[in-house]
Structure 1
Amino acid sequence: MENVPDELWIAACAHRLQRQWHTVDPEQLEEVARDLARDPRLRAMDPGSAALDWLRPLHEPG
């Protein structure tokens, strides 16, 4: 979703990550989202989908 401004994409991605990790400092999640935004494959997705894609290994069995 390259037409979404970076700051909005990062904020939305951080919000989705926060739904997974309630106890992590929001500033740290924003840092993670900023890193995800640097990945062209993830940045091409909507922020929620990118967060879920990045989180997928945490939910896959061993």
Structure 2
Amino acid sequence: MGSMSDKVKGKGNEVAGKARQAVGKAVDNHEEQAKGKLQETKGEAQVAKGQVKDAVKNLVDKA
């Protein structure tokens, strides 16, 4: 998967996770809030993975 794809999917997971947390909070469902936080964290990791890929590519391109 390319860096842009990782970053886009990651942002999607971040947004979905935040929404899931909000729904969980609104209905007082702690399990749903936790699942939302997990999804948000997964998204943050995907974005970071895309950024690392970009950094490595830039280093290789400069070499």
TM-score class, shorter? 0.3 to 0.5
Determine which structure has the larger helix proportion and give its number: 2
- Kindly name which structure, 1 or 2, has the bigger radius of gyration based on alpha carbons: 2
TM-score, normalised to structure 2, is 0.32
TM-score, normalised to structure 1, is 0.32
